[in-house]
A and B are shown apart, each in its own frame.
Chain A
Amino acid sequence: MTDLKLQRVIKRYGDDQVVHGVDLDIREREFVVFVGPSGCGKSTLLRMIAGLESISDGDVHIGDTRVNDVPPGQRGVSMVFQNYALYPHMTVRENMSFGLRNIGTPENEIRQRVDEAAAILRIEPLLERRPRDMSGGQRQRVAIGRAIVRQPKVFLFDEPLSNLDAKLRVQMRIELARLHRQLEATMIYVTHDQVEAMTLADRMVVLRDGRIEQAGAPVDLYESPCNQFVAGFLGSPSMNFLPASVTDHDGNGVWVDLAAGGRLHVPRDASRVSRGDSVTVGLRPELVSPADDGVLSGSLDVVEHLGDQTLLYVRLGDDSTVIARDEGSSTHAAGDTVRLAFSDDACHLFDGDGRACPRLPHAAATA
């Protein structure tokens, strides 16, 4: 049973169209993350679901109800804002009770729900305090508590962790994951941080310029990105892109000449490409490591020692830079000449339009 359905949703500001016909089905109890660069429309989409922005065209259904014209407070959604939006002059308890009071919920039920939510989030000692007397992390919990109290069908989160410092962000991330399991609720989460997206999402929706680029489980998006944008967006450090041209192809894959020098055999479907086409080869840094028999060769520009790994920034023959990874502390130093190796399977192939060539059904043995 679908809990939330977006059909051909469009958003226009005057003559300017910012969301171009989005279709999405969200299941009950899913944790869906809208992720993408600023201006991609993720917040706009969220706010349209909440009712804070009008829907220019298309339909939004929550459950069986079409909610386009339903006022925000009656859609069965709760929202957690980036800046918490707590009522500054009310205590935590009053903040959490406000919404229920407005719809005439009896006082003892309000009290009960507030106490329960406070227990889940461990903010009982804060109940009589005011927002200005609390830290950012505490305020965020209260904001979440206020959302829980209303027992919504869908929880909406608009970049809730952006205002917290790095350590607190990691902590809250874990709490949110735990909360999702505990409440068994449908959650839609907006963030520009792909790490947050990857770790929290059951399903990730990558947006760019008002369109869905790809939607699916984080691991799927990471390993099988459908285009260069998604490939480059996920993963840190981001994927290496090596320009190349096609020399030959058959049922086993595609042969390419790298602009940086060297020839590769990529076990990918060749239906999109022909001889002579310009293509891009994608390589995740964690799958590229220094080796004496490597295909690529270049000089080491920068070495970053991270403790558990070392990142090597290697300049290739055509002046492009490739990032490679070495386990633990590397002995290589800036200025060294290194050779880099990787398996053929690790290569992604993108055609001239940036679209990914799919993997072959069974990866043929590399030549």
Chain B
Amino acid sequence: MATNSTSAPAAKGVADTERRRPRLSPDTVSGYGFLAPFLIVYLVFLVYPLFRGFYLSLHQWDLLAGPLGWTGLQNYQDLLTDPTFWTALGNTFYFVVLTVPLTTVLALVLALALSKPTRTNAVFRAIFFSSSIVSVTVVTLIWQMVLSPSRGILAQALGTVGIPPLDWLNDQHLAMLALVIATVWWSLGLPLMLFSAGLQQIPGDIYEAARLDNASGWRTFRYITWPALHRTTVLVVLIEIILHFQVFGQPFLMTKGGPAGSTRSLVQYIYESGFRDWHLGYASTGAMVLFVVMLIASLAQLHFSRKED
């Protein structure tokens, strides 16, 4: 029998099946059950320490004895009037300002040069990425050796054309540059890969259309490649700023923050306050300041990476 529909309003007596679903549905149980192992570790080892760090920054703290006394915002005041802090902050900014543009431009140029998906290009990319695989201690060791005026390969190479060796790491004007060079060598891999991935996402037929339209290499880059890479570039720059603002190993191991504190980074300052001078509360204060700066940058990064969704 054919039945025609009746657009019936929901009868009052008929129960709403969905409202009757129990609070603890099997999905809720399994959802939290699966998430729990990670969640526990996350709460204990990331969320809690974050708040504890803030708590620490309001105290004078000994590593084993615990809090020695509430100091309130005294630590913050001390921090903001400490010239070493400001030098370290300034050094870090200087470092970032030098490293990020250099790395970004170099990575972009290489990515463009290696954009065709050939075997040779893949090998080249692998070579330029390989320097990013080693640890910071290996990198600093390598570059300390390379830049050494007495035994370094750079001094030897320059010496063959009559240029006298430079004492990079002990020269107040060159030390930061030395760190930048080593860092660029070390960190080129990631932006290179990000740009390569970004370039690959540009559909090939746009380039073919451009060729039919007689676009030269430069015009193709300026009007087609560059606009398409815009979002990737912003992301790369933000990631690098966040990464390099946290620099520690390079100044700590290569120059110990010198000469005359000209390369001391913010994280190094925090570390030294905490584990050399044993002012843990004060060090936490510095860490909180770092966190706020990083939070702003990270939020910017998240904002830009979600935009395309």
Contact = CB atoms under 8 A, between A and B. Distances in A.
Interface of A: 8, 10, 20-25, 54-59, 68-69, 203, 211-216, 220, 226
Interface stretch (B1-9, B141-149, B254-262): B1-9
Interface stretch (B10-18, B120-128, B187-195, B234-242): B10-18
A175 to B, nearest CB: 28
B5 A212 contact: yes
Nearest to B5: A212
Contacts of A22: 5
A54 B18 contact: yes
13 contacts: A8-B11, A21-B8, A21-B9, A23-B6, A54-B21, A56-B16, A57-B17, A69-B20, A69-B21, A212-B5, A215-B3, A220-B2, A226-B4
Interface string B103-117: 000000000000000
B5 A23 contact: yes
Nearest to B20: A69
Interface residues of B, number: 17
A21 B7 contact: yes
A68 B17 contact: yes
Contacts of B7: 20-21, 211
Given A10-B10, A20-B7, A57-B10, A216 B17 contact: no
A216 B4 CA distance: 9
B6 A216 contact: no
Contacts of B9: 21
Contacts of A214: 2, 4
Contact of B6 (A21, A25, A55, A226): A21
Interface string B170-206: 0000000000000000000000000000000000000
Given A23-B6, A213-B5, 16 more contacts: A8-B11, A10-B10, A21-B8, A21-B9, A23-B3, A25-B1, A54-B17, A55-B17, A55-B18, A57-B14, A58-B10, A69-B17, A69-B20, A211-B5, A211-B7, A214-B4
B2 A57 contact: no
Given A8-B8, A8-B10, A57 B3 contact: no
A280 to B, nearest CB: 21
A213 B2 CA distance: 11
Contacts of A226: 4
Contacts of A54: 17-18, 21
Given A8-B8, A8-B10, A57-B10, A24 B3 contact: yes
Contact of A203 (B2, B16, B17): B2
A23 B5 CA distance: 6
Contacts of A68: 17
A213 B6 CA distance: 10
A266 B207 CA distance: 62
Nearest to B9: A21
Contacts of B11: 8
A147 B10 CA distance: 34
A22 to B, nearest CB: 6
